[in-house]
Amino acid sequence: MATAKISTVILPRSPKGEFRNEPFTDFTKHENAQAMKEALVYVGDRLGHEYELVIGGERLKTRGKIESRNPARPEQIVGIHQKAGAEHAELAMQAALKAYEHWQYTSAEERASLLLHAAEIIRDRKFEFCAWLTYEVGKNWAEADADVGETIDFLEFYAREALRLSRATTPIQYPGEKNELLYIPLGVGAVIPPWNFPFAIMAGMTAAAIVTGNTVILKPSSDSPTIAARFVDVLEEAGMPGGVVNFCPGSGATFGNAIVEHPKTRFIAFTGSKEVGLDIHERAARARPGQIWIKRTILEMGGKDSIVVSADADLDAAVEGVVASAFGFSGQKCSACSRAIVEEPIYDVFIDRVRERVAKLTVGDPAANPNMGPVVNAGAMQTILEYIETGRKEGRLISGGNKIETAERGYYIEPTVFADVAPNARISQEEIFGPVLAIIKARDYEDALDIANNTEYGLTGAVYSNDREKLNKARLTYHVGNLYFNRKCTGAMVGAHPFGGFNMSGTDSKAGGPDYLYLFTQAKSVAEKLR
């Protein structure tokens, strides 16, 4: 990360018109495909750079290092990062507390302008950031483009929402008084993002925190710290004062826990696994000496997401939606369809159609833009392969089931489909986070909805049906945070599909929604008696 001059003056930028989602890039157009290829070359020449911690605007090195590697070519180092330990937690906290002294009083307009400026920078360099995602986590061009587009959307949307929140008023003005309702920041927060959306979710949680006046200690995933480092560069270029975001890659068991448990930490925004999310929640709930508040946790955790296919559905559309949801980014999404629940009358033909469609999927180096790239690392590959072995015992293998060997020793697994899986089987209940789909037979629509609700999760789901009564029933009884009708269960769009789930899927934080910024603020009522 190049040393940047950190400005303490943010040039005002106002939102231009109403919010509009960033359009997807059409890579069938020659000019876009060529721009992506050039970006891959440009970024490829910059792999292996060493990045420093950024604490209070200062660059620091540590003895321990984190190596981020290309999952398609594990010998290729994407970035070398410092490894923050427990000893850096206090340093980062003090820097964030010092920055908070002035950042909390910076106007909403100035804070929003920071996000808008950052969005402009990213938009101008979209293909470059896509290339970083391709190298660091194995996203093909479309998946990378969607990640970058969502990043821009979060910045633009939260900037507008912060301005709206700054103009909030009380429902009524009590006679003889001037009444105000102020949404003030919480303090210093830990932002702990995942590797699977290492740009959008990382930037979204960070942006929501700082645009509302908080300061942040950012601990990115060890599988994807480089894109986070690049984002911090963007914020500095956009005018972010030192200490507002402190970039600290490190171990969750040491640095991460130290920050979560610190008495001055006011909130933790986390996206990741159920197990880690629950551990953070438990650690945050325990008051530490000197702590004067109840810490807030904003948790987005796992999913075991189902698509229900009714007997009256458009079968071709259902097959496309299931395959896209199950195998996009190799199934490495908390929203991915890992269970297709199909009514008995169309069950056999659905299986045949899915087998035919999956056979057309291409798997390979994401730089060459196949349908599927690698899974993120060797540990993930081993876990997924173990689930596939379990699946061989619990169902009938329809497609895939094997590791794909490559000369570069990338972490590739065939898109895998099991049929005749029981609703309570392990591969029906446990989050696999890989390219594995279980197909479950339902007696009828009522049975299908019961099966869809039988996990501990409640993140996303979908129903394919042309029967309005069936859709209305699902609207009432299908217990997930994001429900889709006659479309895939992945691809939530900022503003249109506020994202977050029920039960063990998290605190239903609804990222990209109109109430998300409330989670990073506290309401203060002010009443003045008029003379």
Residue with tokens 């640095």: 255
Tell how strand 396-399 and strand 49-51 pair up: unpaired
Choosing from 156, 236, 248, 334, the catalytic residue is 334
Give the number of other Cβ atoms within 10 Å of residue 427's Cβ. 24
> What token pair was written down for 389?
């072995």
Handedness of CA 246, 251, 255, 259 (dihedral sign): positive
200-211 vs 225-237: helix axis angle to the nearest 10? 40
Q: What's the Rg (C-alpha) of the chain?
A: 23
Is residue 434 within 8 A of residue 401, CB to CB? The reply is no
- The contacts of residue 415 (CB under 8 Å, 6+ apart) are 326, 327, 358, 361, 363, 372, 399, 400, 435, 437
Amino acid identity of residue 342, one-letter, is: V
- Is 87 considered catalytic here? no
* CA atoms of 73 and 412, how far apart (whole Å): 11
**Of 300, 343, 394, 414, which is the active-site residue?**
300
Q: At 483, list the tokens.
A: 């429900």
How many CB atoms neighbour CB 249 within 10 A? 26
What H or E segment, with its residue span, contains residue 305?
strand 305-309
- For residue 376, CA distances in Å to 69, 135, 297, 324, 416 come to 9, 11, 27, 19, 17
Q: What are phi and psi of 11, to 5 degrees?
A: -70, 130
The CA-CA-CA angle for residues 305, 311, 313, to 5°, reads 75
Instruction: Please give the C-alpha separations between residue 436 and each of 320, 359, 385, in angstroms, as whole numbers.
Output: 16, 14, 10
Helices and strands (DSSP H and E) totals, the chain: 15, 23
Residue 334 annotated as catalytic = yes
DSSP state of 366: G
Q: Which residues are catalytic?
A: 300, 334
